[in-house]
Structure 1
């Protein structure tokens, strides 16, 4: 089972919108955090060294920008036998 991802976004960010739409289409759970309203999140993102949104954080990987290939890989892993309880 894939744990929810965290997507740090900015208002009116096209890449943020494209990322959340791709996550929705892949049926991947995620939480959105608006960087304009959460100063602690902004500090965390700066510590990671990112300067552009969106920033997607998973347990295993973190990236910024719209990365449909990474979303597809996570979606493909979702039902992998080693990750399921079956």
Structure 2
């Protein structure tokens, strides 16, 4: 399962979710503005921006990166 940490009005988050949907990659979203725990987790991983993409057997990364997202197929 892929997890995408997002926030409202985030263009890169929207691009990432659209890409995953178009490629039929199953994912869940977690809004960091609605969960202090999620925000702390993202910061704990060393990220200061969203989207942060976390998937099994892959290194977490941030931003809309189609080349890295393609590896999640």
TM range, smaller chain: over 0.9
Gaps of 5+ in 2: none
SS at match of 2:53: strand
Supply the RMSD in Å over aligned alpha carbons. 0.7
Q: TM-score, normalised by structure 1?
A: 0.81
Distance 1:46 1:33 in 2: 14
Structure 1 residue runs of 5 or longer lacking an equivalent are 76-86
Higher alpha-carbon Rg: 1
In 1, the alpha carbon distance for the partners of 2:35 and 2:19 equals: 24
Alignment correspondent of 2:35: 38
TM-score, normalised via structure 2 length = 0.94
Question: Which residue matches 1:71?
Answer: 69
Query: Would you say how many aligned residue pairs link Structure 1 and Structure 2?
Result: 72
Query: Are 2:21 and 1:19 aligned?
Result: no
How far does the alpha carbon of each residue in 1:38-81 deviate from its partner, in whole angstroms, 9 at most, with x for none? 10010011110000100000112211000100111221xxxxxx
